Chain A
């Protein structure tokens, strides 16, 4: 679905951002693109969306070069940026004007997403708060039924109940034909939502695995006391005890702790990467 090959890109000459970046994302998955601030997440998403052009290499989305921004490509991709624009019209007018550009737009689904988010259909967009507007654009993006859906920090500005509503609607919208990429630095917001994890650090993809593979190879535990015999790959101590990542030698099933994994990959990269190679 999304194939990035030997991507080179720089905002300034002599200061490359991406050098020989490779990434392949397939349909039927929800990818969590994780990275620290300034790691290059938004730039990567802009490359996929065709808002930035590669200096070298290729960025193909559904077999099309994204930089060409062809309508056939644009009607199958939706980007929910972190900071977005909605015109000063009513939701009804917005849908009337924008929906015809998306051939698979499902108006009844849009209504149900709005209902889930508790947004009245007749409201003026200009009178809404940032969080409410975000819910409208997320609802529209999901109802557009595009094959690729990209969301950059979608949970920013959402209150706690809305974050759980967000997880609910995304989970309901996923299908075999869709590839959803969610970029965030608030990794806990993606708990129980994503099925694949892509970690970007210092402008490189350093980790790209499915959640199932991660839980097959790693075990996430909360220990009250550390045992020297256990080979701890990463630990994070708190008042509750020690959250640890261990090598899953006994094929135990554990629930992935996204934040712990993210910190582990960033701080103890080599042993973790070796496990997956």
Chain B
């Protein structure tokens, strides 16, 4: 039978089992640390004098935890590249680059989110139980996680986008990938901002108003001269921007990350 060189589900299963077996100790310790951290937070919350009345009081901790732990874990997904010996073992293992990529992708996205939410859910119920025990009140469920009007759902979109960025960073940077990706992710918008400013000087000279009357690549207000006023890109372009940001940017980064892995040399 001819070997499928891109994706073979049986081989993918074996690879996932191997990955889990080799990383089990690290994962168990990580989960224990995460759950321990959340439990300590729960106990402090219960025994502090500040009563938690509603979900929205503690929700920032949930998002900060998800972003920080999730992205840190993602940037460690290809930590094998920090050592030459581990890199050789990784690349010489008879599984396709796609199977190796998809395993890291699934463990850091679906796997992490499942475990994180399980820990967060348990921790929330511990706090709720504590509040009931101490103040005879349940925590008010006033946070709609998927509310689009209030923008709550976009926090997940942003997380998925950042996950793609940090996955690419994990493959691209062999060492200290979290810090390096974070720096790069901060520097790229700054560079784009500088390019935008250069364009504005080219187009309007010194007549454009700086802060806060311009939105890079979208809107600019011009202060004086015959052509004064607010210039904005067309609605079609705004829609295109939104479409790219919502549906294309993240898959593009995933695709780049995959090809980066495929083309990696030791």
Contacts and interface: CB of A to CB of B under 8 A. Distances in A.
Interface of A: 46, 49-53, 68-72, 74-75, 77-79, 81, 83-85, 87-89, 93, 96-98, 100-102
Contacts of B51: none
A46 B92 contact: no
Nearest to A74: B94
Given A83-B84, A97-B21, A52 B89 contact: no
A101 B11 contact: yes
A101 B14 contact: yes
B94 A79 contact: no
Interface size bracket, B side: 20 to 34
Nearest to B95: A71
B240 interface: no
Task: Tell me the dominant secondary structure on chain B's binding face.
Answer: helix
Contacts of A100: 14
Nearest to B15: A101
Given A52-B265, A71-B95, A85 B3 contact: no
Nearest to B8: A71
A102 to B, nearest CB: 7
Contacts of A84: 85, 88-89
A220 B164 CA distance: 63
A71 B5 contact: yes
A111 B89 CA distance: 22
Contacts of A75: 3, 94
Given A74-B95, A85-B86, A97-B21, 12 more contacts: A52-B265, A53-B265, A69-B91, A72-B2, A74-B94, A83-B84, A83-B85, A84-B85, A84-B88, A85-B89, A87-B22, A101-B93
A77 B94 CA distance: 9
Interface string B183-222: 0000000000000000000000000000000000000000
A71 B262 CA distance: 13
B54 interface: no
